[in-house]
């Protein structure tokens, strides 16, 4: 399975947790093991968005897909 599709599959598992709090995320790109995400809705302006991105989304992606090195937020 293509790397981008694998990333999208993991994001789809996490999406209900983001949506429950009024947010969401959009996959922008996967380049050299770096996932670029845009946080949407409440997640885009939440003070805890960095924690959500790093401690939640990045950790889950790195656990499931060893090729992922980092997750970056794109505005």
> pTM here?
0.91
Burial of 25 (0-12, 13-18, 19+ CB in 10 A): buried
What pLDDT sits at residue 1?
A: 65
Q: Supply the range of the domain harboring residue 43.
A: 3-73
Q: What is the CATH number of the domain that holds 68?
A: 3.30.300.130
State how many domains the chain has.
Answer: 1
What are the mean pLDDT values of the chain's consecutive 10-residue runs (75 residues total)? 93 95 96 96 90 94 97 94
What pLDDT sits at residue 11?
A: 97
What pLDDT sits at residue 3?
A: 95
What pLDDT sits at residue 45?
A: 87
Q: Identify the helix (H) or strand (E) that includes residue 73.
A: strand 70-73
7 Rama sector, left if φ>0, alpha if ψ -120 to 50, beta otherwise = alpha
The end-to-end CA distance of the chain, in Å, is 28
What pLDDT sits at residue 61?
A: 97
User: Could you give the CA distance from residue 4 to residue 35 in angstroms, rounded to a whole number?
Assistant: 9
């Amino acid at each position: 399975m293509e790397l981008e599709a694998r990333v999208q599959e993991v994001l789809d598992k996490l999406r209900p947790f983001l949506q429950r709090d009024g947010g969401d995320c959009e996959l922008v790109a996967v380049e050299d093991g770096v996932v670029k995400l845009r946080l949407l809705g409440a997640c885009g302006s939440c003070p805890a968005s960095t924690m959500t991105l790093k401690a939640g989304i990045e950790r889950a992606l790195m656990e499931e897909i060893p090729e992922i090195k980092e997750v970056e937020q794109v505005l």
